[in-house]
Structure 1
Amino acid sequence: MECSAPAPAPSPSPPSSGNDNGSEEQVMSEIHLGCPPRFSGSYISTFTVSLPQDVARSPHDRGWGNDASESLILGLDEDGDLLLPRRTRNVEPSCDRYCVRIQHNITSSIPNVGLQVWRAELVLSDFILHKALCSSEFDGVIALELGAGTGLVGLLLARMAKTVFLTDHGNDILDNCAKNVELNIGSLNCQATINVRQLDWFNDWPPKARIGESPSTQRYSWTSREIDNAENASFLVAADVIYSDDLTDAFFSTLERLMSRGSAKVLYMALEKRYNFSLSDLDVVANGYSHFRSYIKDEDEIKSLKSDTMTNFVGKWMDFSQIPQYVREYERGDDVEIWQIKYSGPVSKNWS
């Protein structure tokens, strides 16, 4: 990761977006630990996306492939290593490697952790890049990122999607996210219309729509048409939005209202399990992760349940251990998980 202008360095801690209430304690993502110390403010880092040489393909179809219906079938060899099909033609070097420029902070207060880059954000980027390379799943879709922070994941989706909503809460985070759109919209060959929009999980969905032209003070507000488009999104993505129980509750409340309206949606969610010593348990536990899991039932668990058991969210743990690392400037570690989550509760158009 190349740093264009660095900042100071207190202690590492948890991330993502939520309300503006909270302590001014400064936290720092481990992604920034290699940057020079004793600087302040935001800076621009360059993240390199390198496509596997054996599967790099033409940038003219889906950004990756030769046929819109083409998808790669990947297998494992006897040692469990990923088998990648060999490239059958010459490809322009530029499509094998490209860069994403992200403006972000090294440190922030807890309510503003969306100003930083977090490990789960990069893991989810790898996951999205791999699915885009191996299928047409994201082609021409409407997608929405919850707690977008720097907007990195949504920007990568914008290479394939038709419309992308980058949502978060607070003008500082939204201004920074909009800056990252500006930095990359040309160089990333984005196909999508990208909208940076305010979304406070502690308020009900849908957000209040603006009427007529929006003044500058409402530049991140929604139009009625945009709300309709968001409700008809096919895919939602979220990275590192779980770190406090009240925020998790608000997240799933918003998720329920959003996923129960309009078209069927799939959420791809990456989160890092953070462990702390608990006096009540006298053990090292990941309470935030446990609270997250209380909202979902995994597919295997559902199969063993009685038919009358109700659950609003069904999750599937995604094994990404065989997915190549496309974003070069980080170490994945062992504590990040990716979940595919679907809504299985009642569908309603008239929330009170």
Structure 2
Amino acid sequence: MEDENSTTSLASNGGEQVMSEVHLGCPPHLTRPHISHFTFPLPQSPLHVKGEGSCEIMSNLDKDGDLVLPRRSKPSNNCRLTIQHNITSSIPSVGLQVWRAELVLADFVLHKMSMSSDFNGIVALELGAGTDRGTDVLDNCAMNVHVNSGTFNHNRTSVYIRELDWIMSWPPWVGLDDFPSQNRHKYSWAQSELEEAEGASLLLAADVIYSEDLTDALFNTLRRLMSRGSSKVLYLALEKRYNFSLDDLDVVANGYSHFRSYLKSEEESREFGNESLPCFVGTRIDLAEIPQYVREYDRGNDVEIWQIRYTFSKPNN
């Protein structure tokens, strides 16, 4: 049975399997990892921002004395990422697939890199894309980082794969530095990495909203993580998933509604002011303003990106 948006359910000898719409057209019986390539133009360097409300622009005057502004040239080359993934998976292993919200989030990040320097030189923490938990999923993630490592070398970017179980919340278990390395889990955290993660300013997550229990665990983790260290902003990409509900006798997106119940709008946050409890403030990004950089997918109409901050007001003295 095909869902209205991105998931196809398949019966197999190993139980129910699901397939991302990104993989439609691929033979579902393939059991070995599949290789896909995703291409996008390399981001152009943005204009150097000199201060709030102003930009420093190198400019010239033409023979009539008119200002000649530099034009952004078209990208001269493209970047190609190689992704190893499964064509189908069980629900607990959906992180082995590529999902549409992940590609929308990639479009958003590429656009931000093209239009501003906000993401330059920062520490970012990716919390999950299809929920990255379990050795098989993490091994596949590490393989994809290794295969594409040459793409990031010129930017001196370092990428680390670590396990984060939302059910256990934050902070994750930290392996002792003097513990024999051969006995340590290869995806366990070091204390220095934990401190660096708490100092991250950017959090990312994609296609992790589909189970109410997991959504509760995610926001419990976010509550603890975002209240520590530096100020953080989360960009979360999701896809509404519709199912027929016997309680509602209608096709509803209950997972999405549960997610929205955690968020207050900017207006609600200002309205409650100092009397409000700590809360998550969410703003939906207008995807009409985000070009599609990644070419090999159909964005559709049910994907969204939310900017989420965790905020609280100090009591009056």
TM-score (norm. length: structure 1) = 0.75
- In the alignment, is the contact (CA less than 8 A) between 2:34 and 2:86 conserved in 1? yes
Of 195, 202, 213, the match for 2:160: 195
2:188 corresponds to 1:205: no
Deviation per residue, 1:103-130 (Å, 9 max, x gap): 1111011000000000100001100100
Alignment RMSD: 2.8
**How far apart are the structure 1 equivalents of 2:210 and 2:312?**
25
**How far apart are the structure 1 equivalents of 2:169 and 2:72?**
52
Letter in 2 for 1:322: E
- In the alignment, is the contact (CA less than 8 A) between 2:209 and 2:256 conserved in 1? yes
- In the alignment, is the contact (CA less than 8 A) between 1:50 and 1:328 conserved in 2? no
Distance 1:72 1:282, change over 3 A: farther
**How far apart are the structure 1 equivalents of 2:72 and 2:279?**
47
Please say which structure displays the higher CA radius of gyration: 2
**How far apart are the structure 2 equivalents of 1:266 and 1:220?**
25
Letter in 1 for 2:123: I
Letter in 2 for 1:195: Y
Of 201, 223, 229, the match for 1:256: 223
Letter in 2 for 1:170: G
2:270 corresponds to 1:303: yes
**How far apart are the structure 2 equivalents of 1:111 and 1:265?**
28
**How far apart are the structure 2 equivalents of 1:292 and 1:32?**
26
**How far apart are the structure 1 equivalents of 2:144 and 2:258?**
32
Q: Secondary structure at the match of 1:202?
A: helix
User: Where does residue 228 of structure 1 map in the other structure?
Assistant: 195
Of 260, 279, 292, the match for 1:325: 292
- Identity among equivalent positions (%) equals 56
Deviation per residue, 1:201-237 (Å, 9 max, x gap): 0113111211125326511000000000000100000
Q: Secondary structure at the match of 2:166?
A: coil
**How far apart are the structure 2 equivalents of 1:11 and 1:171?**
29
**How far apart are the structure 2 equivalents of 1:31 and 1:331?**
8
- In the alignment, is the contact (CA less than 8 A) between 1:241 and 1:271 conserved in 2? yes
Higher helix share: 2
Alignment of 1:18-29 (within 5 A): 24-29=15-20
**How far apart are the structure 2 equivalents of 1:34 and 1:188?**
31
- In the alignment, is the contact (CA less than 8 A) between 1:298 and 1:317 conserved in 2? no
User: Where does residue 104 of structure 1 map in the other structure?
Assistant: 85
Q: Secondary structure at the match of 2:197?
A: helix
The offset of 1:193, in angstroms, is 1.4
**How far apart are the structure 2 equivalents of 1:234 and 1:170?**
26
- In the alignment, is the contact (CA less than 8 A) between 2:46 and 2:116 conserved in 1? no
Alignment of 1:8-47 (within 5 A): 24-47=15-38
The offset of 1:252, in angstroms, is 0.5
User: Where does residue 4 of structure 1 map in the other structure?
Assistant: none
The offset of 1:284, in angstroms, is 1.5
2:90 corresponds to 1:117: no
User: Where does residue 284 of structure 1 map in the other structure?
Assistant: 251
Of 119, 122, 128, the match for 1:138: 119
The offset of 1:281, in angstroms, is 1.1
Q: Secondary structure at the match of 2:113?
A: helix
Deviation per residue, 1:29-85 (Å, 9 max, x gap): 00000324542221111001135xxxx63xxxxxx3474769999xxxxxxxxxxxx
The offset of 1:320, in angstroms, is 1.7
**How far apart are the structure 1 equivalents of 2:113 and 2:93?**
30
| Equivalent residues, number | 290
Q: Which runs of 5+ in 2 are unaligned?
A: 8-13, 56-68
**How far apart are the structure 1 equivalents of 2:111 and 2:165?**
30
- In the alignment, is the contact (CA less than 8 A) between 1:69 and 1:136 conserved in 2? no
Q: Which runs of 5+ in 1 are unaligned?
A: 1-9, 16-22, 58-63, 74-85, 150-166, 348-352
- In the alignment, is the contact (CA less than 8 A) between 2:39 and 2:296 conserved in 1? yes
